[in-house]
């Protein structure tokens, strides 16, 4: 089942999401929500989707960066972004630690702000402590694009969006961004 992705301006996107208990995580409701979020993320398509983006103020996000999503990028672009495929996984109640300064800047977009992009500085390396879809504790050490995805999705769980962190002079429509990239 596909869920409706809410757009910027919806109050749920600006609220601190609530944590889930281990019992809730194992419930049929949350397990169904995870499956629906996965389907919705794939359909969009996107590399991450946080529960607030589908109207649920819960500290839950799904992430997957498929090889297919990278096929149109050059080897140089993939290397510069440190972008590699990331298998599907779930992060619940994440706590993030930035292991490097916010000194890596690339364009980001968001499924809740379709058709726009901007340059956003992020940390190159992060450590995330969270629960997985079974409620088991997990620690993720990530770098490059994967670290960027984690930071973006965890921002959603705290009521932040990339537009809060962007270099405002770089904010552009996707069409204008793509036109500039071809020059």
Q: Is the domain covering 11-182 a CATH 3.10.105.10 domain? A: no
Positions in the chain whose pLDDT score sits under 70: 183
Tokens 């537009």 label which residue? 163
pLDDT of res. 17: 98
Q: Are 108 and 118 in contact (CB under 8 A)?
A: yes
Q: Is 24 known to be catalytic?
A: no
Kindly report, residue by residue over 89-141, the tens digit of the pLDDT: 999 999 999 999 999 999 999 999 999 999 999 999 999 999 999 999 999 99
pLDDT of res. 179: 84
pLDDT of res. 178: 83
User: 10, 23, 153, 175: which is the annotated catalytic residue?
Assistant: 153
pTM score > 0.85 for this model? yes
What are the E-state strand segments in 23-180? 48-50, 60-65, 86-98, 104-108, 116-122, 125-131, 137-143, 172-173
């Amino acid at each position: 089942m596909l869920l409706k992705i809410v757009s910027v301006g919806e109050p749920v996107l600006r609220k601190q999401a609530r944590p889930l208990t281990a019992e809730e995580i194992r419930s049929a409701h949350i397990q169904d929500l995870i499956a629906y979020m996965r389907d919705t993320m794939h359909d969009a398509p996107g590399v991450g989707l946080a529960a607030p983006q589908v109207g649920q103020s819960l500290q839950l996000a799904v992430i997957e960066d498929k090889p297919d999503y990278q096929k149109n990028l050059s080897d140089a672009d993939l290397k510069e972004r440190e972008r590699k495929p990331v298998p599907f996984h779930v992060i619940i109640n994440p706590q993030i630690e930035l292991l490097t300064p916010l000194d890596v800047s690339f364009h980001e977009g968001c499924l809740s702000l379709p058709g726009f992009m901007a340059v956003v500085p992020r940390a190159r390396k992060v450590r995330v402590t969270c629960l997985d879809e079974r409620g088991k504790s997990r620690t993720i050490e990530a770098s490059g694009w994967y670290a960027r995805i984690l930071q973006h999705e965890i921002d959603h769980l705290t009521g932040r969006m990339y537009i809060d962190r962007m270099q405002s002079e770089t904010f552009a429509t996707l069409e204008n961004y793509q036109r500039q990239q071809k020059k």
